[in-house]
Chain A
C-alpha cells in the first residue's frame, strides 16, 4: 500500500519542482499585478461557497477528500 503512495507523491513533487523551476525566471513586479489582484484572479469563491461545495461533493462522489478537512457529518459515510 505504501509503495504506490510514495511513487505517486514522488511524481507530484517532481512536477512541482519542475514547474516552479521552469517559471522561476519570471518576475512580475508588484506594480504590474493590477490584473492579478482582481477578485476572479485571486479567489472567486467565498469560504461558505467552497465549504458547501466540498461537503456536497463529499456526499455524492467517492473521489472527494484530501482537502485538508475530511469527515464531518451527514451520516453519509
Chain B
C-alpha cells in the first residue's frame, strides 16, 4: 500500500512537472513620423506552450494614424485621425521529431479597409538539424472602400472598367520557401523565396493622377505577380561576442518594379545581460512601367494612371540603433530578472515625395510559467 502511495505521489509530481509550461508576453509601443503622416502603434504579443509539442501565439494591435496626405483620404491637406485594429493568432506543433507544422490567421479592420489572412507552414529538419527546410502559403481577402474620404460624399470605386461600386475586393495568394544551413560552429546561411499573386482592386481610392490638364482617379492593373529571393549569412565572433549579419534581397514583379536591398547588422553582446545593435539598410527600386509624375493625356500608359510614390524609382537608406537589456542588470529578481527591456531608434532617408522618416520602439518582454 505504501509503495502504491509513493508511486501515485511520484506520478502526480511527474504530471504536475510536465504540466508546467513557459510563455512570454510582450508589450511594444511604436512611433512613426514622416512629412505628412504620424503613426502610433501599441501592440501586445503572447506566446504560450501548449503541451510539450505545441506553441500558441497571438497578437493584438491598434494603429492610430494622423495624416494630411491625400492618399490617406485627407481633403485640402487637413489632417485627420483614423484607427486600425488588428488581431492574429497561430498554432504550431511538432508532429514528428523532424517535422513541425503550423497555421495562423489575422484580421485587420479600419474605416476603409478590412483584411483577413489565413495561412499554413511546415518546417523539416534534416542532417541532425544542420539543415532546416520550410514551405508555406496563405490567402488574403481584402475589402477596400473610400470610407475615410473627408469630402461631403463618399466616392464610389471603379472596381473594373465601367463598374462603380461602394467597395472593391482584392485577393492575394502567397507562397514561400526557405532553407537554413549551418555552415560551421559560427556560421549560418539562410535562403528564401517569396511569391504573391494579387487579383482585384490594387489602386488607392483617394489618389488622383495628373493626366493632360485634369485629375483622374488612380487606375492600376487588376493583376500583379510579385517575387522576391533573399540570402543571409550570420557569423559569430566568439572572442568579442559579436554577431555580424549580412543580407541581400532581390525583388521583381510584372509591373516592372525591380529592387535590390542589401542590409548589414552588427549585434554586440555586453556581458550576459545586454546587447546593442547597429543596422544599415539600402533600398533601390525601379519604377512601374505605367508610373509617371504627370501623364501627357487621359489615356495614361496602356490605360493606367498612378500617383503612387511607392511605384516610382527611388532610393532609401535606413540607419538603426537598438539596445536590449535584461531586468537582472537593474537588480530585479525572480520573474522580472528575465524581463527584457528594448529600445530602437531608426532614421530613414529617402529621395522621394514621402520625405525622411523617424521610427522609435519601446518594448518589454516578460517570461512566465503557468
A-side interface size class: 35 or more
For window 1-43 of A, CB contacts with B under 8 Å fall at 1, 4-5, 8-9, 12-13, 15-16, 19-20, 23-24, 26-30, 32-36, 38-41
Which of A24, A33, A49 contacts B344 (CB under 8 A)? A49
Docked complex Cα distance between A51 and B142 (Å):
18
Interface residues of B, CB < 8 Å — how many?
110
Known: A28-B182, A33-B182, A51-B59. A71 touches B117 (CB 8 A): yes
Which of B117, B174, B310 contacts A61 (CB under 8 A)? B310
Q: Which residues of A contact B188 (CB under 8 A)?
A: 36, 41
Which of A39, A41, A66, A73 contacts B63 (CB under 8 A)? A73
Q: Which residues of A contact B257 (CB under 8 A)?
A: 62-63
Cross-chain contact A63 with B127 (CB below 8 angstroms) = no
Cross-chain contact A46 with B363 (CB below 8 angstroms) = yes
Cross-chain contact A47 with B86 (CB below 8 angstroms) = no
Docked complex Cα distance between A28 and B72 (Å):
51
Cross-chain contact B195 with A66 (CB below 8 angstroms) = yes
Report the nearest A residue to B251, measured CB to CB. A63
Cross-chain contact A77 with B243 (CB below 8 angstroms) = no
Name the residue among A34, A38, A44, A75 with the largest chain B CB count within 10 angstroms.
Answer: A75
Cross-chain contact B227 with A66 (CB below 8 angstroms) = yes
Contact residues of B: prevailing secondary structure = strand
Q: Which residues of B contact A (CB under 8 A)?
A: 26, 28, 30, 32, 41, 43, 45, 57, 59, 61, 63, 65, 71-73, 82, 84, 86, 106, 108-110, 112-115, 117, 119, 121, 127-131, 133, 136-138, 140, 142, 144, 148, 170, 172, 174, 176-177, 179, 181-186, 188-189, 191, 193-196, 198, 201-206, 223, 225-229, 234, 236, 238, 243, 245, 251-254, 257-259, 261, 265, 267, 269, 275, 277, 283, 285, 288, 308, 310-312, 316, 342, 344, 348, 350, 354, 357, 359, 361, 363, 365
The 6 closest A-B pairs by CB, nearest first: A66-B194, A63-B259, A40-B243, A40-B267, A62-B310, A63-B251
Q: Which residues of A contact B (CB under 8 A)?
A: 1, 4-5, 8-9, 12-13, 15-16, 19-20, 23-24, 26-30, 32-36, 38-41, 44, 46-49, 51-52, 56, 59-63, 65-77
